[in-house]
Amino acid sequence: MSGELEFYFDFLSPFAYLAHDRVCGLARGYGRKLTYIPIDMPAAKLAAGNTGPSNRDMPVKLRYLMTDVERWAKRVNLPVSFPASLDSHRMNAGTFYALDRGLGEEYVREGFNLGWGLGGDIGSDETLTRLAEIMGWPPAEFIEYAGASKALPDYVASTRQAVEKGVFGVPTVIIDAQMWWGNDRLDFVEEYLAGRGG
């Protein structure tokens, strides 16, 4: 099998952060091209009919979610610190700047680390400047590009593509028209790649 591994993500998701390294390993290990598809997750949820409040607006669920994220981070040996904000549109859009330069994996890893690893404000100029510096890019140029965010054609198209394929949350992996949602479904992804499941 040679179909690409599509990774749908939004930098606001801790579970996409927790999944990323393993997704990279699965793609490499099974010879699949890894395709990064950043999406506007709240828009995808609404398109799927999920009009409920966000986790941040439900204190009981948020407390559990924070504990769950910490447990998963320990399991996959990643640092975790909740970001100062979850305004992810510019960082999401910046993925296309990285992809144009053949640096998708590096960009996504560094972006997640600045947000979920170090607790930075993923929507701030300061964090985006730091990300550009790490990547070796002119910060002003990168921030101007990312500033288009919701209106950036590639970002609009990637969210539309996700909705059309039935993506309603992140992280989502699609391979050969098969879909798995959640960092806790990656064992099933590996079974599929190994030819042991569907």
With contact defined as beta carbons under 8 Å apart, do 186 and 180 qualify?
Answer: yes
CA dihedral of residues 66, 69, 74, 79 (deg, nearest 10): -80
Choice among 13, 88, 149, 158 that is catalytic: 13
* 81 assigned to active site: no
3-class secondary-structure state, position 198 = coil
Q: How many CA atoms lie within 13 A of 70 on its CB side?
A: 8
Kindly give, in sequence order, each residue whose CB lies less than 8 Å from that of residue 168, ignoring residues fewer than 6 positions away. 44, 45, 47, 48, 50, 181
With contact defined as beta carbons under 8 Å apart, do 119 and 82 qualify?
Answer: yes
With contact defined as beta carbons under 8 Å apart, do 20 and 76 qualify?
Answer: no
Provide the b/e sequence for 91-127 (b: ≥16 CB within 10 Å): bbbbbbbbbeeebbbebbebbbbbbbbeebbbbbeeb
Between the alpha carbon of residue 46 and those of residues 49, 51, 117, the distances in Å are: 5, 6, 28
Residues designated as active site: 13
